[in-house]
Amino acid sequence: MRRAALPLSHVWLAVAIMAVWGSNFVVMKAGLEHLPSLFFAGLRFTLVAFPVVFFLPRPRVRWRNLATYGLFIGLGQFGLIFTALNGHISPALASLVAQTQVFFTIVLALVFDDEGVKPRQWAALLLAALGLAIIAFHTDAQTSMLGLLLVLGAALCWALGNMASRNAGRVNMLSYVAWSSLFAAPSLLAFSLAVEGPQAILQGVQEATMGTWGAVIWQALGNSLFGYAAWGWLLARHPAATITPMALLVPVFGFTTSALWLGEPLPIWKLAAAALVMAGLTLNLLAPKAPQETKA
């Protein structure tokens, strides 16, 4: 029997998630104008956890799984990305480099879950990798090697978080994201106190504007409660090699919003990179699927 194709409604849900995540890099940059990086991330996950955990029961997964997801996504992915965006990398480039999580996730699924990756998927990822290479060769004064390494580390943490959410199975993902944030928030706030210091935190709070607090709220409601809950829901229902390439749309939205809101230029090499990424995504989604037997 043939594996069922990705339903159109699931495709559009994935695209909506990517639009939120792509534009979110500009929102993060705005919030970092006043708040220290780790403190900003800690506030985000505090709002994700509270008051949601008072209204939704804990998902039926082990505390260890919740902690793993919360630490990899919170302290790992966003702790590193927020730090990178604070003067080490531009939002558009960060939105692209973060998508190396696609490669990390597929490799992890291949190693731990024994998921097959078809030749067409390798070809699709190769096209996307060429797009990433074009961006990597055009770093400038806005992007440092430290910034690239921080975002690559964030991408690996994102992939590990993907694996944790898949291992949780079909649970209420809104509840899962909220309860896992009980581990993300305190770890981020503790690191903020230790690394950034109480003086920097107090100064950031005093200088914060309505736009700053709006960025914090959007991080919690749009990016986490909607984005990660819906993403985990999709990963629990489809193979990682099918779903994760959708994240390659993030830099397309990231480039667009960064150009419109921040005036970041879009030279021909950036457009060429985006075209390669889109070509890889299209090949992965639209190429005919080979017949595959399914278990009864």
| More confident site: 266 or 36 | 36
Which is nearest to 130 in space by CA: 16, 12, 278, 262? 278
Distance CA 174, CA 230 (A): 8
pLDDT of res. 2: 45
Helix axes 173-191, 145-168, angle to 10 degrees: 140
Which is nearest to 52 in space by CA: 174, 135, 168? 174
Distance CA 168, CA 190 (A): 27
Taking residue 60's Cβ as centre, other Cβ atoms within 10 Å add up to: 11
Which is nearest to 61 in space by CA: 173, 171, 226? 171
Query: Phi/psi of residue 294, each to 5°?
Result: -115, 150
C-alpha angle 67-44-208 in degrees, rounded to nearest 5: 150
- Mapped onto helix, strand or coil, the DSSP state of residue 62 is coil
SS (H, E, C) 110-146: HHHCCCCCCHHHHHHHHHHHHHHHHHHCCCCCCCCHH
- AA letter at 230: A
pLDDT tens-digit series, residues 97-110: 887 887 787 778 77
Distance CA 96, CA 276 (A): 12
Classify the C-alpha dihedral 45-50-55-60 as positive or negative. Answer: positive
Mean of per-residue pLDDT scores for the chain: 85
- Quote the DSSP letter at residue 287: S
pLDDT tens-digit series, residues 225-258: 898 888 888 988 888 777 877 877 888 888 889 9
With 50 as the cut, is the pLDDT of residue 1 above it? no
Query: Phi/psi of residue 159, each to 5°?
Result: -65, -40
pLDDT tens-digit series, residues 189-231: 999 999 999 999 999 999 999 999 999 999 999 988 898 888 8
- AA letter at 288: P
Q: Which of 100-104, 129-133, 144-148 has the lowest mean pLDDT?
A: 100-104
In this prediction, residue 296 has a pLDDT band, given cuts at 50, 70 and 90, of very low
Q: Please list, in sequence order, all residues whose beta carbon lies within 8 angstroms of the beta carbon of residue 4, skipping any fewer than 6 positions away.
A: none
pTM over 0.85: no
Which is nearest to 65 in space by CA: 179, 172, 214? 179
pLDDT of res. 4: 53
Which is nearest to 157 in space by CA: 231, 247, 76, 102? 76
With 80 as the cut, is the pLDDT of residue 16 above it? yes
Distance CA 267, CA 231 (A): 31
